[in-house]
Structure 1
Amino acid sequence: MQKRNLAQKFKVAEALADPTDDKLNRATLAEELGSTLANFVGKESLVVGVYSSWGDGKTTFVNFVLNQVNKQYKAPETPLIIKFNPWQFSNHSDLAQQFLKQLATSLLVSDRGAEAKKIGEKLLAIVPLFNALKFIPEPFVQIGSYALTQSFKTVGTAAKAIGDGFSKDLETIKMDVSKALGELPYSIFVVIDDMDRLQDTEIKLMFQLIKSVCNFKNTIYLLPMDIEVVSTALSSSYQGNGRAFLEKIIQVPIHLPKITSSTLETLINTELESLFPERSIELKKQSSQEILRTGFYSNFKISVILKDSSTFYY
C-alpha cells in the first residue's frame, strides 16, 4: 500500500460558510430563514432557536443563514453580526460581563460611525455595574440611584463614560441603549454558539441575559443548541419544566431535519472514493455500510461529513 503523507490525511475540521458547499440539503431552508429574518419589520428583540443534536451541523446552518441575510442588504444597511461563544468563558464568574463586553466592543470597533460607538460606550459602562453588584436581575429589578451611585464610585470610568447615567437606575440605562439601537438603520445579529456545552447554571444565566437584560430593540439572536440538553439544564431551576421556559424565550424555533442513513451512506461513499480512488469499488461495497452499522457512525458523522469530510483516514 502506498504510504501517504500525514498532511494529506488530516485537515482541520471547521463549520462550512458557503451554502454551495451544502451536503445535507439544508441550504434551501437556510436561504428561506435568512430571507425571512432580513425582511423582519419588527423593532423588538427576536430570538431564533436552531435545534439539533451535537455534531449535526448547527453552526454550518447558521453560517448559511447569515450568508443569505447579508445578500439582502447593501451598505449602510448591512447588519452588524456579533458572534459570542460562552464556552470560552465557562467556569468563569464573569460570563455576563464577558457577553456585554463582546456586544460593546463589537460596536466600538465597527465602522458604523459615531452613533454605534456611543452605544458601545454605554454598554461598556454597564459591565462594571454587574461586576460590582454580582447578580443578574430576575425578573429585571430596578436599582435605586443611591445603590447605583455607590457601585459606580468603585468604577469611576463607568460613571464618566455614561455621563449622568450613574444617577439613573439600571432599567433606564437599558432603555437608553435599546432606544438608540432601535434608531440604527441596520439590525444587530447576535450568534451565541455552544450554549449546550455550558454548566446548568451558566445556561440559565445566558437566557436571563437574553430575556431580561439584552433584549434590546433591533437585535436578532440566533441560538444553535441541542434542545434536550438545554431543556434538562433549565429544568433544575424551573420546576422540572425547562422546555416550557425555553418556549417563552425562543420565538422562532427551527428544528433541523435529521440526516437520513441513505444520505449519509451516499456522502460516505463519495468521500471514500475521492480519498482512495484505487480502492473505490471495494470501499463502496463494504465501508459505508460498516460505518453505519458500527458505533463509529456518530463520530464519523460529526468530524467527517458535517465539517470536512476529507478528515477521514486509514
Structure 2
Amino acid sequence: MKGIKVLIDLPESSPSKDFELLAETISTLIQNSEPHFVTGIYGEWGTGKTTLMKQIQKNISDYDDDHNTLTIWFNAWKYEREEQFATVALLKNIAYAMTNNLKFEPIRETIFNALKIFGKESGKQLLQEFLSQEVIKEIKENISKKFDLLMSIEKETIYYDGLSIIETQMRKIRKNNKNCKIIVFIDDLDRCSPKKALEVLESIKVFLDMEGFVYVIGLSHTTLAKLISYSYNDVGVDGSDYLQKIIQIPLNLPKWDDTKLIDLIENNIAKSIDRKYYKLISDNSNILIKTVQNNPRQLKRFINNLIIAFESFSDTNNKKLSLVNLFVVQVLHKRYPKLVKIIEINNDCRDFFKKILKGYSRLMILRNTDKSWRIRERYKSDNELVPLFNELYNNPQPKLSHIRMLLRKLIPNELKKKELSFDLISSMSEISLDDWRLLRRYIPDLMEITDWSIYRKANEIVEDKIFENFPK
C-alpha cells in the first residue's frame, strides 16, 4: 500500500484546448473594454468554472506588465458563516488586495473608512465610547462637537457616502491612468446558502454603476435562477430576468465530450495515479465517461473511490479482490444498482443473466448482418433468444416495454415464483447497448465470483449515500 495517492479536486493547470481559447478571448475582452460590466461563467457542479476563471486571472496577470490591473479572488463560500452582510466581506477582500499597491492606496483607505460602522449595534458601541463615564461631565459642554464627529464618521460608512467616495477615488485614479482597473472573480456562489448567495448578488448590484470594476462570476444558472425565483416569490421576481439585469456577458462553459475527458485522463490523470489504475481506466475510458456523465469532478471521484476500495480490501482474510471485477461492480452500481444487488444475492438470477449474455455474445459474432433467420439457423438451440436480441441489437430504438415483455417470457419458472423477477426484468431492460458490450467482455469473470461479500464491503465504504427522507 506504500505510495498510493488519490486525485485532488483542484482546478486543472492545463485545461482543454476549448478552455484555453475561451480564457484567452475573455482575458483580451476584459483588458481592452471599458471596465464597467459583469461576466457570468455558467456551468454545473464539477464542470470547470474555477479552472476557466483561474486561467483568465492568470492571463490577465501575465498581460499586465505595468501593474495597472488588480485581480481579486473572492470565494463566496468561505464567508458563509459571516454574520455581516456580504458587501462587508467583499469590500474587505478588495481592500486587503490593494495592500502595497500605490496606484490603489487611496481607495484602500476609503474602503476601510467606509467600513467603520457595519450596523446599528456597532453604532451603539461607538456612541457608548464617545459617551463613556470618563467624559460624562464634558457632555454638556462638548455634546454638539461629539455628535458632529459621530455624524461625520457615519457619513463615510457604506450606508451613506462611502460608496460615492470610492467611486470618486476610482475616477481620479483612472483620470491619471485610463488602464487602471479592478477585476473581481467570485467563485463558489452556488455552494452558498440561498441567503448568502443573494447577499453577494445584491453586493454586486451596488457596484454596477461604478466605473473601473469588472466582475467575473462562476455560477450555475439553473441553481441560482431557481433560488432567486423562490426567494422573491412574494413579489413575482423571475430568477432568469434578475440574473440578466446583473450579468451583461453570459458565457456557457464548453461541454466535456468524450474526446476532452479522454484527453484529461491521458494527459493529466495518468501522471497522478499508479500505472495499474491508469491502464484499467484508459482501457475502459468510454464506459467510464458515460458512467460519470461527462463530468470531470465525478471522474476523479470515481477513480478515488476505486483506489480506496481496492487498496483497503485487495487482500482481506486471504480473499483476493480482482481490480477488474471491482471496477465493473462499481460501474454497474452507479448505472444499475438494483441489478447488481439482485445478482449479488441470488444464484438463479446469475445463471439467467449468464444465459442472456452468452446469447448476446453469439449475436455479436453476426453483428454485420441484421437477418434474424441467419441467427436462427446458426443457433437453433437459442431460438427463444432471437426476438430479444433482434430488439436489443438490430433495432436502432428498442422499446423498453417490448424488451420487458420478451424477458418475462424467457425468465425461468423458479425466478417467476420469487419477488426478485420483476426487478430483474426492469433492470435488464434498461441496460444500454454499450453496457451490454462491457458486460460481454467482463461478465465471465464477474459471474464466477463465489463470495460477493468482499466486493460488497469494498463498495460500501465509498458508496455515495442518498437520503430520500430527511427527519423533520
- Bin for the TM-score computed over the shorter chain: 0.7 to 0.9
SS at match of 1:130: coil
Q: Which has the higher contact order (CA 8 A, sep 6+)?
A: 1
Gap regions ≥5 residues in structure 2: 131-146, 311-472
Deviation per residue, 1:184-214 (Å, 9 max, x gap): 3321111111111111121111111110257
Deviation per residue, 1:252-275 (Å, 9 max, x gap): 111111111333244335667664
- Confirm or deny that 1:261 pairs with 2:258: yes
1:129–1:257 Cα change, 3 Å:
same
SS at match of 2:18: coil
- Which of 181, 186, 193 is equivalent to 2:187? 193
Deviation per residue, 1:144-184 (Å, 9 max, x gap): xxxxx88964688xx9x999453468453311111212333
CA RMSD of aligned residues (A): 3.6
Deviation at 1:122, TM superposition (A): 1.8
- Confirm or deny that 1:56 pairs with 2:47: yes
- Confirm or deny that 1:124 pairs with 2:112: yes
The normalised TM-score by structure 2 is 0.52
Match in the other structure for 2:75: 85
Deviation per residue, 1:67-124 (Å, 9 max, x gap): 22223322242x11111112112133214222222222222x2x221x6333222212
- Confirm or deny that 1:112 pairs with 2:101: yes
One-letter code aligned to 1:217: E
Aligned length: 280
Matched-pair identity in %: 20
Query: 1:125·1:162 contact (CA, 8 Å) conserved in 2?
Result: no
Match in the other structure for 2:296: 301
Match in the other structure for 2:447: none
One-letter code aligned to 1:56: T
Select the structure that is richer in helix: 2
Deviation per residue, 1:10-37 (Å, 9 max, x gap): 25332135xxx22352101110110110
**Counterparts of 1:214 and 1:154, CA distance in 2:** 36
SS at match of 1:124: helix
- Confirm or deny that 1:30 pairs with 2:19: no
**Counterparts of 1:266 and 1:289, CA distance in 2:** 12
**Counterparts of 1:182 and 1:198, CA distance in 2:** 33
Which has the greater radius of gyration? 2
**Counterparts of 2:251 and 2:295, CA distance in 1:** 24
Gap regions ≥5 residues in structure 1: 135-148
Deviation per residue, 1:32-74 (Å, 9 max, x gap): 110110111x25x321110001111111101111222223322
Match in the other structure for 2:92: 101
